[in-house]
Every structure is written in C-alpha cells, then in structure tokens.
Amino acid sequence: MRPASLDGARPPPFDFARAPILVFWETTRACGLSCLHCRASAISEPLPGELTSEEGHGVIDQVAEFGMPLPLIVFTGGDPLRRPDLFELLAHSRDRGIRTAVSPAVTELLTADCLRRLRDAGVMSISLSLDGAVAATHDGIRRAMGTYDRTVEAVRTALDLGLKLQINTAVMRPNVEELPRIFHHLRSWGVPTWEVFFLVRVGRATHELDLRPDEYESVANFLYDASRYGLVVRTVEAPFVRRVLHQRDGFPCWNAPLYRGLSSELVAREGPPTGPSTLGRRGTLDGDGIIFVSHDGTVQPGGLLPVPLGNIRTDSLPALYRTHELLRRIRARNLSGPCGTTCPDRTVCGGSRARAYAHSSDPLASDPACLWAVLGPPSPTR
C-alpha cells in the first residue's frame, strides 16, 4: 500500500537515491487466508527464522537512520495482526518519529476494537483488500467464505472511526470485468484511495489468472478514466500507467473491446468524468523509492521481486538501498530492451522490475505486460 493521506500537509520532497519513501516490512508469513494470488504463499503459522521483537525494533531503528524526511513503514504480511508484538512495534515507530501504515488481512482478528486500537496507536492509514464486486468473486479469490461481508463491515467501521483507508484490488482474469462495480462501491462508501495491483506471477499467482498486454492496456486506460472522479487512483507493478497518463493528456484514448466495456459501464454508473486525473506523474519502482524487508530479515527491492540484496541482521538497510548495484541501475533506468532504450517514457515509467524478473529471471529486462515493450512505441503516423 501507499499512504492514503498526509494529513493535508505537503511532505518534503524525497530524493529516491538517498532514501525510499516507503519501507515494506513483511512482519510474518502467518495468515488466516489462502488467497489465489498471494505473493508470499502465506500459511497458517509463522515460518522459522521470523524476526524477533528485538530484531523488529532494529528494523525500525535502521529506518530512522535514513534521516529526514523519514520513510513510512508499511507493516504487511501475511497478516501483521498475527504478530503479538504489533502494537509494541507501532509504538516504537511512533517514538522514533516514523509514520506507519498497516495492511491487515480481513479475518476474525480485524474487529472494531482492533481498528480502534490501530487508530489510537497513531497508524497513518490502513489498507484492506477488495478483489470482487460481489461475494462470490471476492470470497473465491480469498478462498474463505464470508470474507466479502466482513470486508464491507471493516470498511464502514474504519471510515466511521476516522481511519484513513485505502482499498487494494489485485486485477486478474476472474475480476477484471467487475472493476467498474468495485469502483462504484468505493465511491458510494466514501473510500478516498484505490490502489490496483497488476498481477505478477510469484507465489500462488498462476498463468491462468494473468491478463494479456492488450488487456492490461485496457485496464490502465480505464484507471485513467476512473481517476477523474475524485478518488486517488494508484497502481502497483504497472508503472506504464504513467505513460498512459501522458498519452491521454493529449491524444485519443485507447480503443479496444475490454476498454470500451469497462469505460461504458463506468460512465453508466458514475456519469461522465469531470475532474483532472489523480494519477501521479511520478512514482516508484522496486528499489527506486521503495524497499522490502522479508519476515526473516532478507532485504529485497520489492515484495514481488525476490532478489536478495542482503539481510537486516547483518547489513545496513540505508547502505544497501543507497549503494547496491542493482538498485543503482534500476534508478538510472539502465535496463535492457525497450524499457531501457526505445521507450520515450522510460524515465517516468521503467516497467515492472518484478514482472520482468518473473518472466525472464532478469530484473533489468523489459516488462512483458506493457504493450509498448511488446510491440514498440507507435510511430507518429500509426
């Protein structure tokens, strides 16, 4: 997740070569769900080697060593609520002046009292997953009956408590045609931020769940449309949405059957869009603005890019982030194929490094989900 809000204040600018804006900490692999696409292949019990409470304090202390402006720590999993010391770790983060966000699984642990405790602990925002517009789709993806209804209840409770809320949706073949209805739910509930994850085939995610590049292009163009209704719309592992934003600012929109269907349903439900796009013109890549610490302390460029850079138990997190050659090459867009050569938007995009790695075992290769990486940029006369 990305932070849903900064309390109305403009944060100081981040130099991504100096520090990430987000540190994702996979606090545990333990989770009560068994989702179809789980990148962590989460299981019911913690894995051996999980960082201890003392080592968890060390993670937080190392984040503080980045200096001002400090990154935000996203406590994720698995399910961070399965860590008995979660609130102790949140308190330590607050003591060090570090903002926090939490991405809990929607299980019986996520009660109204738990949400209240998260708010009172000073958590800046929480993210909840909604992967279907109806219970059958969402519960099927989450592989737990009743999760949809529990999620809707948690959304309403979080908003009533004044928690800053973000909804995450992993787009895949079983739910892609439900995106306009999911968006309609978020608007009607008053959710301020929607973060859409484009599938990367790691963990449990399979080829059967994935979309084709032209279908991802349709989704990216749909998200441009959705971002003009006031909600903040973000993507994960789809930096080419920024290329679409640049295209749509001055050129005719993408025209394909999936896009036409999604767009027409969006307008039918919401009316014509009237505002500017909320999509960001600058974003992060794995290792460029974000860094990931796994349950056992292994440091990776991102949660979906399982390339070990070092370990928090023996290495300095700021030093790894600032000096590791792979991250320096990613930040310089020293990439191969169209993502590093012919794409005119490579500086603002750069392609998904995680998807490139999942497809080719090369984190510097081109993103196989980007239509321009597959076909090349259109010529001025195309």
CATH at residue 34: 3.20.20.70
Among candidate residues 219, 246, 270, the one where a domain is terminated: 270
Predicted confidence band of residue 5 (pLDDT cuts 50, 70, 90):
very low
Cα–Cα distance, 137 to 332 (Å, whole number): 40
Q: From start to end of the chain, where are the E strands?
A: 22-26, 72-76, 100-102, 125-129, 165-171, 193-198, 232-236, 285-286, 289-293, 298-300, 310-311
Question: What is the pLDDT of the chain when averaged over all its residues?
Answer: 91
d(CA 114, CA 127): 14
Residue 314 counted as domain residue: no
339 and 332 Cβ atoms separated by less than 8 Å: no
Q: Are 36 and 132 contained in the same domain?
A: yes
Same domain, residue pair 221 and 363: no
pLDDT in tens, 341-351: 888 888 889 99
In the chain, pLDDT over 90 holds for what percent of residues? 79
Residues 228 and 358 in one domain: no
Residue 345 belongs to domain spanning: 335-375
Q: Are residues 265 and 352 in the same domain?
A: no
Report the DSSP beta bridge partners of residue 25: 75, 293
Whose structure tokens read 């990216």?
220
Question: What SS3 class is residue 64?
Answer: helix
Assign 298 to helix, strand or coil: strand
Domain count, the chain: 2
pLDDT at residue 201 is higher than 90: no
Domain annotation covers residue 289: no
- Phi, psi at 159, each rounded to 5°: -65, -40
Asked whether residue 251 carries a pLDDT value surpassing 90, the answer given is no
Residue 339 sits in the same domain as residue 264: no
Tell me which range, 11-15, 44-48, 226-230, 243-247, is most confidently predicted by mean pLDDT.
Answer: 226-230
The CA distance from 140 to 154, in Å, is 19
Q: Is the pTM of this model over 0.85?
A: yes
Per DSSP, what are the bridge partners of residue 129? 168
Q: Domain for residue 11, yes or no?
A: no
Is the same domain home to 261 and 342? no
CB 244 within 8 A of CB 222: no
Rounded average pLDDT over 77-86: 96
Nearest to 317 by CA among 292, 350, 348: 292
pLDDT at 38 over 80: no
Locate 295 and state its tokens. Answer: 């349950």
**Is 39:303 a contact under the CB 8 Å cutoff?**
yes
Q: Which residues contact 254 (CB under 8 A, 6 or more apart)?
A: 217, 218, 220, 221, 244
Residues 33 and 159 in one domain: yes
369 and 251 fall within a common domain: no
